[in-house]
C-alpha cells in the first residue's frame, strides 16, 4: 500500500511540476494592488520541498469527550485505541499520516512543518456500527518554514482534512479485513499534506 501511494504521489508531483513550474495568475495578486492600478502580477512557482521535520501540537485546551452518543460536543473524539490519553493518541495518528505523505517529497529546499490540531472528531462506537452517515472531521493549522533560516514560506492557514467514515456493514467488513480507522485516516492525511506541499506558491 505504501509503494502504491508513493507511485501515485510521484505521478501527481510530475503533473504539478510540468503544469505549474512558472505561471502567472491574477488570483495571486495582493488585494491592495489590483490589476490595472499599477500593481504587478505575482509569479507563482511549483515548490521544491523536502520535509526535514514535522512538529505536531495538540493543545490541551481542546476538549475531549468519551460520550457514546451520535455526535458529542467536543474537539477530540477518538475510540479506536483503548481508553487513555486521547491527546497523545490522536497526535500519533496525525504524525504517522503526515510523515507518510512528506516522505513522497524529495525536493531541494528543506522545510519544517508546524501543525496545530484544531479538531479531530472521529466516530463513537454507537455511530460506527449504525447506518448513520458520518465523517472523520479533522482540521489543523499548517505553517511551512525554511529549515535553515526559520523564515515562514507558507503562512499559517487552516487545512480541512475531513473524510467520509465507514459505518454499519461497511465498518464491520473493514474490521474483518484489518482496515482500521487509523489506517484510513493516515492514508488520507498523507494525501492531504502532499497536496498542500505541492501547491504553487508566490515568489
Q: Give the cell for residue 162.
A: 475531513
43 pLDDT band, cuts 50/70/90, is confident
Contact 161, 191 (CB under 8 A): no
- The alpha-helical segments, DSSP class H, found in the chain are 2-20, 86-102, 125-128, 168-177, 181-197
Contact 142, 111 (CB under 8 A): no
Task: Look at residues 11, 9, 43, 10 and name the one whose alpha carbon lies nearest to residue 26.
Answer: 43
Asked if the structure places residue 180 within a domain, the reply is yes
Asked if the structure places residue 29 within a domain, the reply is no
Contact 195, 172 (CB under 8 A): no
Contact 42, 203 (CB under 8 A): yes
Asked if the structure places residue 172 within a domain, the reply is yes
Asked if the structure places residue 2 within a domain, the reply is no
> The whole model's pTM is what?
0.79
Asked if the structure places residue 6 within a domain, the reply is no
Domain total in the chain = 1
Asked if the structure places residue 19 within a domain, the reply is no
- Domain with residue 187: its CATH number is 3.40.50
Asked if the structure places residue 103 within a domain, the reply is yes
Owner of C-alpha cell 463513537: 124
Given a cut of 60, whether residue 24 has pLDDT beyond it is no
Domain assignment of residue 54, given as a range: 48-196
Owner of C-alpha cell 535553515: 148
As a whole number of angstroms, the distance between CA 104 and CA 200 comes to: 17
Q: Is 168 exposed, middle or buried (CB count within 10 Å of its CB: 0-12, 13-18, 19+)?
A: middle
49 pairs with which residues across the strands? Answer: 109
Q: How far is CA 16 from CA 21, 61, 125, 150, 159, in A?
A: 8, 38, 40, 26, 19
Q: Which residue has the higher pLDDT, 87 or 21?
A: 87
As a whole number of angstroms, the distance between CA 199 and CA 28 comes to: 12
Rounded to an integer, the average pLDDT of 97-102 is: 98
Rounded to an integer, the average pLDDT of 69-75 is: 96
Given a cut of 70, whether residue 56 has pLDDT beyond it is yes
At 132-158, the pLDDT tens digits run 999 999 999 999 999 999 999 999 999
Asked if the structure places residue 15 within a domain, the reply is no
Amino acid at each position: 500500500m505504501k509503494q502504491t501511494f508513493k507511485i501515485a504521489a510521484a505521478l501527481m508531483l510530475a503533473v504539478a511540476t510540468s503544469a505549474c513550474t512558472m505561471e502567472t495568475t491574477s488570483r495571486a495578486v495582493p488585494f491592495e494592488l489590483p490589476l490595472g492600478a499599477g500593481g504587478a502580477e505575482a509569479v507563482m512557482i511549483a515548490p521544491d520541498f523536502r520535509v526535514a521535520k514535522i512538529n505536531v501540537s495538540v493543545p490541551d485546551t481542546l476538549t475531549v469527550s468519551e460520550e457514546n452518543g451520535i455526535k458529542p460536543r467536543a474537539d477530540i473524539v477518538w475510540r479506536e485505541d483503548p481508553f487513555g490519553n486521547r491527546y497523545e493518541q490522536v497526535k500519533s495518528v496525525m504524525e504517522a499520516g503526515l510523515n507518510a505523505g512528506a516522505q513522497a517529497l524529495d525536493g531541494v529546499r528543506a522545510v519544517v512543518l508546524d501543525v496545530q490540531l484544531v479538531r479531530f472528531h472521529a466516530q463513537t462506537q454507537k455511530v460506527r456500527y449504525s447506518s448513520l452517515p458520518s465523517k472523520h472531521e479533522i482540521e489543523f493549522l499548517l505553517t511551512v518554514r525554511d529549515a535553515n533560516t526559520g523564515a515562514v514560506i507558507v503562512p499559517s492557514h487552516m487545512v480541512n482534512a475531513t473524510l467520509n467514515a465507514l459505518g454499519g456493514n461497511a465498518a464491520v467488513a473493514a474490521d474483518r479485513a484489518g482496515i482500521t480507522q487509523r489506517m484510513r485516516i493516515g492514508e488520507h492525511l498523507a494525501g492531504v499534506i502532499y497536496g498542500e506541499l505541492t501547491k504553487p506558491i508566490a515568489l
